[in-house]
Amino acid sequence: MNEQETFIKMSDAVLEGDSEALTVIIKKVIGEVDPLILVQKGMMPGLKKIGELFESGEVFLPEMLMAAEAFQEGMKIIEPKLQESGKKVESPGTVVFGTVFSDIHEIGKNIVITLMRTYGFKVIDLGANVSPITFVDESEKANADIIAISSLMTTTMTYQKDVIDYLKERGLRDKYIVLVGGGPVNEEWAEQIGADGTSDSAAGAVRIAEKLITDKKGGVA
């Protein structure tokens, strides 16, 4: 199997969510191929493809989760080699993501996180019932670009505003892009509380994240 065939098989394994097949291939070639190239040419195309299929409605969350899971399994083998080589996988940005205080709904957040990861974002998932202080402290620790705040219920939306208010109190509001989302959240609410953006769909959230990060970095994609 030549290098090109290896990459195609790796990409297909990610696309199929076949962790076992992927790790078998990686173990065979890990000593011979640049680990960064394995990620970029072997695994990323499969991840990108599953993201595209998800956006076009041809596959759904289960398929995307399995692809992401396979990717993570592959990375467990590649990561040590990457560290040895001193190389890093380029990422559009780091996102700290959570569901607001008093809300334990996670599915919307999990869908967006999974799609963001397929687009190469580094996402730190804080889980649910996250306090404003935790959102901000974790974003500081991660040197995040984006704080993404999810809320499913009308009665918990107000805690999205609390995170933004707390950022202002700490003098950190301009440091972060703040995205809000969830069942009852719309543009009117996002604007009212001073968020930078919102979207109804996971694909829309990724587009906004990419655009705002590009804008923040001076318009260079």
Residues of this chain that bind other proteins (CB under 8 A): 55, 57, 60-63, 65-66, 69, 102-107, 110-111, 153-159, 161, 183-186, 188, 200-203
Q: Which two tokens stand for residue 124?
A: 């730190």
Q: Which CB atom, from 103 or from 196, has the smaller least distance to other proteins?
A: 103
CB of residue 59 to other proteins, shortest distance in Å: 8
CB of residue 186 to other proteins, shortest distance in Å: 5
Residue 191 to residues 51, 139, 183: CA-CA distances in angstroms? Answer: 28, 22, 16
CB of residue 157 to other proteins, shortest distance in Å: 8
CB of residue 221 to other proteins, shortest distance in Å: 24
Q: Which CB atom, from 27 or from 211, has the smaller least distance to other proteins?
A: 211
Bridge-partner residues for 177, per DSSP? 146
Q: Which CB atom, from 33 or from 115, has the smaller least distance to other proteins?
A: 115
Q: Which CB atom, from 54 or from 176, has the smaller least distance to other proteins?
A: 54
CB of residue 9 to other proteins, shortest distance in Å: 23
Q: Which CB atom, from 69 or from 79, has the smaller least distance to other proteins?
A: 69
